[in-house]
Structure 1
């Protein structure tokens, strides 16, 4: 099964910062983990 993907628009500076943070993960994995951390902090969940 192929997962559907979308694109997001970010500046080159943001892309470079994300690249440094995501170490050995895909952007999708990294951003999902970031969303999970935010949900935990805010006491919400989209799952």
Structure 2
């Protein structure tokens, strides 16, 4: 059992992408995170 509430699990499943690209060890990926600063939003990219 994952320990999460069933309602939270169903919300997470509904928001998850179904077509995740394949990647493995040694690949470089870029992840963008939406950051809220006051009343502004921006995307912060992390690469590794």
**TM-score (normalizing by structure 1):** 0.32
For CA contacts below 8 A with separation 6 or more, give which structure has more relative contact order.
2
Structure number with larger C-alpha Rg:
2
Structure that is richer in helix per residue: 1
Structure that is richer in strand per residue: 2
**TM-score (normalizing by structure 2):** 0.31
